[in-house]
Structure formats: C-alpha cells, structure tokens
Amino acid sequence: MDDADWLYSDDGRQRFNASILKEFNYTIYPNDTISNFSTCVLAFGGYVPTVISNGSWYNSTGCDTPVRPIRTRGAIGVATAIIFAALLVMSLVCLSKHGKSFLPAEKRFRLVGRRWPWYWCIITSTVGLISGFCAVDVDRVWVLGTSAIFHFIFYMVSLPCCLAAIWEMSRNWGSFEERKGIDEDFFRYRQDDLRSKIEFYEPLIFYLFNFLSFFLSILRNWNTIARSNANVITDARFQASSILSFLAWMVIVVAHLIARHYYQPQKFPWKIPATILLILIRIAFNIGSAFEYSFSQLRWQATPAYIYCLGFLPVILVILVIIYSGLREPNEDQELLRFRNARNAILDQEMLAIKSPEKRKSTGKPRTIRTRRESRASAHDYWGSEEPVQKA
C-alpha cells in the first residue's frame, strides 16, 4: 500500500487505513483525535488505537477520558464542593429546627411555607456540590465531554435555585410579620384588600421569570456549548435568560419593599438586603458573559477565577447568610408563643393594678371565729333546760 492509502496523526508517528476511515466517516483532527461525531479516540503518544474492517476500535482511549493531571480549576472545584457539602448539612439542621410545629395547623399559614427556603438551600447546595466535583475532569480530559457538560449545567442551575431560596426567605419573613399581627389582632389584615391581591400575584410573577430563565439556559443541547462555540455561548437564549434572572431579582426587591410598607417591622431584616446585593454580583456576571465571549464562564479556556469568584462565591455567601440567620433565629411557633406569654403577662399586671385599689378601700376588720360564734342567736332547749343553749 502506498502513502495515499494511509492517514497520519501525531506528526506522522501513527498511521491508519484511509479507506476504512473514509468508509465510516472518521476524520483526523489537528488535536490528534479521530472522530465521526459518535465515536472519538485519542491518537497520539502512548495512545495507539487500531481500527478494524467493521469500523470499530480496540486498544483505544476515549476523548473524554481523563489523561491529564489535575489543575487549578479541579483543585478549586474540590474545595468548592466541600464547602457546599458543609452548607448542605447545615441546611438540613436548619430545616429540622424551623420545620417543626409547636402550634395547631392553620390553613392560612401552612407549615410547608416556612420549609421552602431550606428546601431551596438544600437544592442549591446539592447542585453546587455536583458541579464542583465535576470540575475536576474539565481540565484533565483532552476533549470536553460529559464532565464538562455536568459542571456547566449544574453551575447554571445554581442561580435560579439560589434566587428561589432568597425569594422564599423574603416571602416567609413577610408571612411571619402578617402572622404576628393577626395573632395580636385577628382583624388587623383583611383578605380582600390590595395587599392580599399583591401577595397573591407576586410568587406567580417571580416563578414565571425564574422558570423561563431556567428553561432558556438549561434545557437545550449542551454538546456545542462544551466545545466553547462562541456563537452558541453568546446566543439570544443565554442573553434572554440572563435578563430574566435580573427581572426575577427585581421582583424580590419590589416584594420586600411592599412587605415593609404594609407590615412596618420594628427590626430591620438585614439578611434580605444582604442576600439581594450578593446575588446581584452573580446576575451581573451572567449578563456580561452572555453578551461578551471573552468574559464567558462557559469557556473551558476561561480563567477559573471568573467562575469561582464571580459565579460560585456569591451563591455560597447567600446560602451562608441564610443559614446563619436560621441558626440564630428561633422557631416561628416558639417565637409566637413567647409573644403570647409576654402579652398575657402584661394583661395580668393590668388586672392586678385594677384590683389593688379596691382592696385598699375596705377598712373594716375581719371578725374572729369567737366573735362570730357569740353573735349567733340562742337556740331554745326543747328538753326542759332552764338556760338557753348556744348553737354549735
């Protein structure tokens, strides 16, 4: 066979039967891989595959097999995964604390309502944990494949999940303020006023924007994204998804301001503005990377500092703030019982203050038992005794 019957890779050090490769649509690429878009093998150095007449390979190594040493992205990914694992455990602890009920169930304030923030914290920590561990193989594989796809998918999922955690935390705070007011005065808040109508439509609008953001950025073909295709990474779907995330963030801000206007809390809930400002960093990063390819976090060539400092770090800080406040704050039912006991103590003091003047007005001395006995009328002796007999 002459040279026309052979195709070479690895600077001519490996050769393959040209007719078999052409028959099964195999192509040798400049990065020393052989692929027909369904099968991809390495063909350089110690990786010497052999193709047989039916188009299959033996002694081959897949292109998505980790063949390189772990690098910066993978090391930081493992550290990030460990942090998310710790946040997952603490979220479960907070769920156990705040998910318990100490009062009879109320139709207006369901127990699951105050559990949802911790459900979303658990989901966010889980997807961050998976993405961090999948980052180990992003720099180790020769051609990006399943590990890179999972790493980027779960990274993108962390934003809508974190936004949902912030939303549920803010909504639950407003619900508890309403519950405290109704517990003190049942007729304080009506159920047919403008406030109740706004609170009915707020979650619908938020979850609409949040789900559309998830749908446009996650539910799509990720094979071309894993290859860092510039036209796909900065297409209209990613751009619209980033803008919808910002609109969902705006709904949280407006809902929080409306709740503060109606309930006028005595204490300022610092955890809500803190989480809102932190997640804004991630949203701004998503918008910038959706419009500028060189800034995109979906490029495998991108600096790991982008995806970890501007992508994962705000999410970690948000979950940490929520968990910290959850560990410090008491259970809602227990807090409500404390308010009731305080009100009852005030009422008891007022009743004692009313009764004490009445006691001071009565100046008569109480009669002794002997005096009361002597004052009783004499009883007639029906047995013939001459002296009157005192009643016993």
Q: Are strands 378-379 and 50-51 parallel, antiparallel or unpaired?
A: unpaired
Q: Can you name the residues that pair with 50 across neighbouring β-strands? A: 58
Q: Is 120 helix (H, G, I), strand (E, B) or coil?
A: helix
- Helices then strands, counting H and E runs in the chain, come out as 13, 9
- Tell me: pLDDT of 242 over 70: yes
Per mean pLDDT, which of 115-129, 168-182, 251-265 is the most reliable?
115-129
Beta bridge partners of 114: none
Phi-psi region of 25 (alpha: psi -120 to 50; beta: other; left: phi over 0): left
- Contact assessment for residue 9 and residue 34, using Cβ atoms and an 8 Å cutoff: yes
The two three-digit tokens of residue 352, written as one number: 């004692």
391: number of Cβ within 10 Å: 8
Does residue 364 come out as left (phi exceeding 0), alpha (psi in the -120 to 50 range) or beta? beta
Task: Report residue 142 as tokens.
Answer: 């020769």
Residue 392, pLDDT > 50, answer no
249-253, 264-268, 289-293, range with the lowest pLDDT: 264-268
**What does pLDDT average to over the chain?**
84
Lowest mean pLDDT among 72-86, 108-122, 135-149: 135-149
What is d(CA 20, CA 13) in angstroms, rounded to the nearest whole number?
Answer: 19
* Percent of the chain residues topping a pLDDT of 70: 88
Token pair recorded at residue 367: 């009669």
pLDDT tens digits along 17-36: 888 888 888 888 888 889 88
**What pLDDT band is residue 359 in, cutting at 50, 70 and 90?**
low
- Residues 168-184: tens digit of each pLDDT: 999 999 888 888 877 67
pLDDT tens for each residue of 44-98: 888 889 888 888 888 888 888 888 888 888 899 999 999 999 999 999 999 999 9
Please state, in angstroms and rounded to a whole number, the distance separating the CA atoms of residues 169 and 256.
10
| Surface-to-core class of residue 319, CB atoms within 10 Å of its CB (0-12 exposed, 13-18 middle, 19+ buried) | buried
Quick check: 318 and 275 in contact, CB under 8 A? yes
d(CA 310, CA 164): 19
Give the Cβ contact number of residue 282 at 10 Å.
24
Which tokens is 220 given?
Answer: 């799509």
Tell me: pLDDT of 337 over 60.
yes
Instruction: Return the pLDDT at 123.
Output: 97
Q: What's the token pair of residue 371?
A: 């005096």
pLDDT at 286 over 70: yes
Digit-coded pLDDT (tens) for 246-257? 999 999 999 999
Name which CATH class applies to 72-342.
mainly alpha
Residue 258 in contact with residue 200, Cβ under 8 Å?
A: no
Q: Identify the residue with better confidence: 54 or 188.
A: 54
First to last CA, the chain: 141
Q: Strand 6-9 to strand 14-17: parallel, antiparallel, or no bridges (unpaired)?
A: antiparallel
- In the chain, residues under CATH classification 1.20.1070 are 72-342
CA atoms within 13 A on the CB side of 177: 19
**pLDDT band at residue 4 using 50, 70 and 90 as cut-offs:** low
Measuring CA to CA, which residue among 164, 123, 117 is closest to residue 323?
A: 117
Residue 166's pLDDT band, with cuts at 50, 70 and 90, is very high
**Residue 377 scores a pLDDT above 60:** no
Residue at token pair 């001519």:
12
Tell me which H or E stretch contains 54.
Answer: none
Other beta carbons within 10 Å of 35: 15
Q: Measured between alpha carbons, how far is residue 34 from residues 120, 128, 137, 351 in Å?
A: 43, 34, 21, 90
> Across residues 253-278, what is the average pLDDT?
89
| pLDDT tens digits, 194-240 | 888 898 899 999 999 999 999 999 988 888 887 778 888 889 999 99
The conformation of residue 46, written as its DSSP 8-state character, comes to: T
Q: Tell me what percent of the residues of the chain surpass a pLDDT of 90.
A: 38
Asked if 15 contacts 7 with a C-beta cutoff of 8 angstroms, the reply is: yes
